[in-house]
Each structure stands twice: as C-alpha cells, then as structure tokens.
Amino acid sequence: MRKGWRNKLLTIQLISVFALLPVAVSAQQVATGTDGMVASAHELASQAGAEILAAGGNAVDAAVATAFAVTVVEPNASSLGGEGYMVLSLADGRNLAIDFRSWAPGHVDNETDASVMTGPESTCIPGLVAGLTLALQEYGTKTLEEVMAPAIRLARDGFPLDAVLYDRLSELYGFTEYGTDPVIGPIYFPDGLVPEIGSLVVNEDLARALELVAEQGAYAFYRGEMATAIVDAMDGWFTSGDLQRYQAVVRDAIISEYRGHTVIGAPPNVAGIVVAEALNILDNYDLSALGGWDDPKAVHLIAEALLLASADRIPYMGDPDFFEVPLTGLLSEEYATERSALIDPGAAMVPTRETPPGNPYPFMAAPVGTDGGPESPSTTHISVLDEAGNAVAITQTISSFWGSQEMVSGFGFFMNNELHNFNGYNPNRLGDLNVVAPYKRPRTVLAPTIVRNTEREVALVIGTPGAGRIPSTVVQTIINVIDFEMSLADAIKAPKFTSRVGYPELHIEGGYPDATIEALKALGHVVNATHGALDYYFGGVNAIIVEDGLMTGVGSFRRAGGAAGRR
C-alpha cells in the first residue's frame, strides 16, 4: 500500500489518549492511534470499545463491548433481538468467522409466508447474544461484566439524542400510532412526542436486560426470564424450545487475494463471496492506470465485475448447514479469469443487468478458499484493531429499521424481521437455496472484511450497512484505497454506485460528474443518478486503515459515526 496517507488526514484527525476504566474518552469521525482503534456507527459505541482497549483488553473484547453498546445508541439498526456475522483475523495467524445469523422457527415450511415485514410472524430466532458471548468466551480476555459495563451505563444513565436517531424515531413515531404504544412509548416517547435533539435517551429496561446477560451469559437470553418474555412478545410464533436450540457457529473465513493482499471475508450465506469474486475478476485489470473513482472506464469495469459476482449469489450461496456451496470453484483464479472474459471494456454486458450465473464446478480442484489454521439500510458495522494485530469486523442487524417493530416488554429491545430475507415458495424454483425451512439461516448481504497487506500485516478492517448495496460499497472502498491510493476518509466519502442482478439500472449516487454519467450511458448502461446529498442507502462504512504503524479509524460520515484510537 502507498505511504503518506496519514498526511492527507491531518486536518481532521484527533488522537484520543486513554487511561484505565472508568475513563472519559472522546471520539471523532476520524481518529488516529498506535495501540488500538475502534470505528463504529456511533461515537459513544466506539468510546465503549476504546475503554476496553485502554483497560488491557484485546480486539475481541473491545468489539464485543462496542457491539453491545451499539444496541443501546443505535437501536433502530441493532438489538439483542438481532443477528450478525463476525470475521476475525488473529495475530497468531488464525482467520475465522462467527456466524450468529438468526434462523427460522421450527414450525415453518416452504409454504410459510416469508413476505411479512412487521409483527411476530416476520421474526427469526435471534443470534446476537449467542454470537457475542461465544466470541468473548473463545477469543477474548475479559469477562462479560467488564465488557458490557459501558453499554449498561449508556442504557441506564442515558445518552444525548443525535440527529440521525431523531430522524429514525420520527419514523417510528408514525409506525406506533404517534408514540402511544404501551411498550415502546414510555421509553422513546416519554411525553407522547418525539424528543428534541440533545434530549437524554434513557432505557432502564434495556439496562436490566444487559445486566442479566452480563451476569448469566447467553443463558439469560435463551433460557432465563428474558426468554419467557420473548416468547410472550412473539405470541407463539416460536417456542421456548426454539430459543433453547439456537447456536452460533464458528466457521472458517473465506480467503482470497487481490493485488497481493489477502482478503478475509465471511462465509457463504452472506456476501463475502460476492466481494471476493468481484475483486478476483478485477484482478485481471489494471485499475490504477485509470483516472480514479469517477473515471467511467473504471466504473464500467467495477460494475460489470459486481454484476457477474452477484449473478452467482442466488444459485450457489445459502446456509452452508443445508447446502454444499462450491466455494473453491467460486474463489478460484481460473474461474475469475473465465468470468472476466465476459466483460467488454467498450460496452455494457447486459443493459438490463439480467446476467446468467457461471459454472464454478469445473474449478473445484482449485486451492481451498478457507483458512482455519494458525434492501433496508438498517444494519450497522464495527471495525476493531488492537496493538497485537488482532482484527475484528462485525456487521450486525435487525433487518429493516426497528426490525419487526415489536419490543420485548420489560427488556427494552426490538425483535428482528429477518424472515423476509428468505424467498417465498415457488414450485418453479425447487432447487432454491433460500427457501424457508426450520432452523435455517436466511441469505443476506452482510460483508465484514479484513485485508492484510503484502507483508501479511493488517491493512484494512471494513464493513458497511446498506442492504443489497453492501458488496458494491465494500468493493469500491477497497479499490479506492488500494488501486486509486485515496486516504481512507476520502475513499469512504467518495460517491458510490450499486451493480447487481435483478436491478435493471446502474444506480449511481449523487456526486458523480455529468461527464461520467453520460459516458456510462454511451457504454450502454441504463443509469439512475441520484443527485443531491450523499445517500445513506449506499452504506455507512466504518473502517480502520494501518500505515507505518499508525492506525486511522473512520466512522461513517453518513450516520453519527465515530472512531476512537489509543496511543
């Protein structure tokens, strides 16, 4: 990676210096440090993780602390009733992932209506508590009580309402019949109205839930009194037995290479393969010779690669506990070369974007792409790096904003609405990998990613919300950094586009030059250009970059993002 990026950030960098817990720390959208870094969608959540780093915790400890804190300060996008995926690249050489995606209740079948968006029948069995407690137990160094203390403090003592959460609460106010819901209203609309920006948001019920988890671990959520309250809130949609059966799973991370860098991503039921395959295809082109992020030739090549990668997602990617995904074929260099040959640098492949999948099976003898050795924006991402070189990327979600809009009474958190991420039953698609089934995890597009450089040192920890735009945003940000040598802040700020099968237009965010848009149209793309302010649907990247021993964290510019570093 090119040296000198840090100089581009000096005008907006802030260094946070930490002492032992409890500690007052500050976070900014861009921060630097040498001994650890946290970037998340909210500065208070990043501070929570930084406190744990300052107290001697490792990246996993800090990531778990941040993840629980996010459920307090960004309740519209993350919750104890949610799910996620964690990718870990440890200093001892191990690359792995923790799958804590939600799964369907035990009574469902392929005729279950998977299109329901709100209420109990939109809900899957949550995995967040199981996943975070598993990560801490297996790879952390601190106790649950220690890492959850900042989140409990935020819930009990409150935090100032920011403009981003204010907007989301304004939407919820309408959903809940002007804040009169007897469970939600007293917490988020205490006076029957949306609180003013700067008002203190207190959730004592959630503090109680967090305290129970801190004391009892996952037992509190899946078997204790909280479990009873969850089943009651779901009106029988799933049972206590469904909750008790849930398990988070440790999986091998998927490993690919891009420009000599090692890309470590999430396994097949999310979008790690889409990111890896798109980068594999683009490895056949010298993007650095082009004019940068707004060069129409570069946009064209990246869009076509993303289209080809997304075409392989539907027929080949699903819950690996139910299907054998042709992983080594999809990740092989030979397959990427075959797919790249379909790209015409001078014309859009298929203007309608209905591109057929490839056939990865002839390439299954390629080197194994795993390593276990030494449309809603309501998702959030956390990136963490410690001084030893342990890196953690977590993307967690409740699917739509406010999930199912069902809050668990007495415990202050919303349940997810993940069931709609399954495909409904279609007799013409009997081989569909994403048809709903008991205890099956739906396919989504989460893409937490860690990149190590040519010296195998952590270079980038990255991820984003953004629903179906997640793979496009992650790929473009990585390319902006590696190929176009942009600072991380500039790489994240640069406007984005999304390219995927099933969407006939190349959807481009406001900020691209008119000349770029016209050139793309001349290449045959059907362009939908969104002019105006940056669109958060294109993601809210929270990432960390390392150069010459200096860690720079960037919290999302499109949300209330913040980074906190330790020096």
For 427-445, letters b (16+ CB in 10 Å) and e give eeeeebbbbbbebbbbbbb
For 300, the 3-state DSSP assignment is helix
b/e map of 73-97 (b: 16 or more CB within 10 Å)?
Answer: bbbbbbbbbbbbbbbbbbeeebbbb
Cα–Cα dist 155/214, whole Å:
14
The answer for residues whose C-beta is within 8 angstroms of residue 51's C-beta and 6 or more apart is: 18, 21, 22, 23, 25, 65, 150
Contact (CB, 8 A) for 426 and 432: yes
Sheet hosting strand 497-498, strand order edge to edge: 497-498, 506-509, 527-530
Half-sphere exposure of 168 (CA within 13 A, CB side): 24
Residue showing tokens 């349940």? 415
CA distance 176 to 483: 47
The C-alpha atoms of residue 497 and residue 477 are separated, in whole angstroms, by: 11
Helix (H) or strand (E) holding 213: helix 204-216
CA distance 470 to 444: 10
Distance set, CA 442 to CA 40, 250, 270, 350 (Å)? 25, 17, 9, 28
Q: Would you state the structure tokens that stand for residue 557, as one six-digit string?
A: 């510019």
Active site residues: 379
Give the whole-angstrom CA distance, residue 506 versus residue 528: 6
Output phi, psi for 341, to 5 deg: -65, -15
306, two tokens:
């993303």
CA angle 452, 455, 461 (to 5 degrees): 15
Joined tokens for residue 85? 């995926």
- Nearest residue to 473 via CA among 455, 457, 493: 493
**Pair of tokens at residue 134:** 């598993």
